[in-house]
Amino acid sequence: MNDTLNTIRSLRTIHGDFSEKDISEADLSLILEASVRSANASARQSYSIIVLEDRQRMKDLFSYQGSRALVYCVDFSRIELLAKSLGHDFNETNIIGFITASMDTILAAQTAVLAAKSLGIDSLITNGLHRNSLEKVYQLLRLPEKSCFPLMTVVLGYPCSEPAYQKGRLSLDYVVHRGEYHTPSETEIQKIISEYNDHSKHLGLTDNWEELGFNHYLDWFFVKWTGNPPIKTVADGKILEFQQRLRKSGFWWVEEGESVEP
């Protein structure tokens, strides 16, 4: 086991329980330099990183706070400005471009997490921005209206106390498929359910599901956490807000014959 694998195996999430201890600017620079070394499509680095230092501002934006927060945005606006400056056209603002840029962005964020952990700094990856009003997020961060979307946040800091345990993961047998996709058999499904039920593995979000009257952890998960799917898949609420924001940013195109929302 080398140092890199040890760092990966030691990763854990600190859910907002960060101390007041600050990250040094030197360490922050190392984390950011590592982050932008991540793989990216067509050497474009189609993302931007906004560094936040104000803890109250972090809380207002995504409910958590730490020493620093890195807001990772899918971003083609910089590339479009470069093209315009040189007299060229550039347009990757569509759903395919969004997915490709999202991969770039996620890789950069995960690399920051690994770099931070190698320096003894813990992290939280959160989509808390998306629980906020997206219009508010755009205003507070002064994001470009077009070709930019706030995808995720990495909160960095030092824990107030050591977590009681490290979250587990499912056995490789149920996640890794060799050669082609393998749909789990009923026997394998029951083994997966048993893994989630095993308290020593700490696979789930809560350990007190039995006290709450559930036979299995996944009973709690599907009843209390994910809820029932809608009867009709008509966009409303947060889903509608996302689609409208993606359309406003240019990533979600109008289908032929479809009316544009006001």
**Tens digit of each residue's pLDDT (9 = 90 or more) over 104-150:** 999 999 999 999 999 999 999 999 999 999 999 999 999 999 999 99
Element (H, E) at 62: helix 55-62
Q: How confident is the model at residue 233 (pLDDT cuts 50, 70, 90)?
A: confident
Tens digits of per-residue pLDDT, 201-226? 999 999 999 999 999 999 999 999 98
In a domain, 200, yes or no: no
163 contacts 200 by C-beta, under 8 angstroms: no
Rounded mean pLDDT of the chain? 93
In this predicted structure, the answer to whether residue 258 has a pLDDT above a threshold of 70 is no
Within-domain flag for 49: yes
Q: Is residue 229 part of a domain?
A: no
Is 251 a member of any domain? no
Domains in the chain: how many in total? 1
Q: What is the pLDDT of residue 260?
A: 58
The answer, yes or no, to whether residue 77 has pLDDT greater than 80, is yes
For residue 257, the model assigns a pLDDT of: 65
Burial of 95 (0-12, 13-18, 19+ CB in 10 A): exposed
CATH number (domain holding residue 147): 3.40.109.10
Q: What is the pLDDT of residue 230?
A: 77
Give a yes or no: residue 163 inside a domain.
Answer: no
- Whether residue 103 lies inside any domain: the answer is yes
The token pair that represents 69 in the structure block: 């927060």
In a domain, 68, yes or no: yes
**Predicted local confidence at residue 229, as pLDDT:** 77
9 CB-near residues (< 8 Å, 6+ apart): 1
- Cβ atoms of 158 and 19 closer than 8 Å: yes
Instruction: Give the burial class of 192: count Cβ atoms within 10 A of its Cβ; 0-12 exposed, 13-18 middle, 19 or more buried.
Output: middle
Residue range of the domain that includes 44: 3-157
Structure tokens given for 143: 């994001």
> How far apart, in whole angstroms, are the C-alpha atoms of residue 71 and residue 63?
13
What gap in Å lies between CA 14 and CA 153, rounded to an integer? Answer: 13
pTM, two decimals, is: 0.92
Residue 208 covered by a domain: no
- Whether the pLDDT of residue 261 is over 60: the answer is no
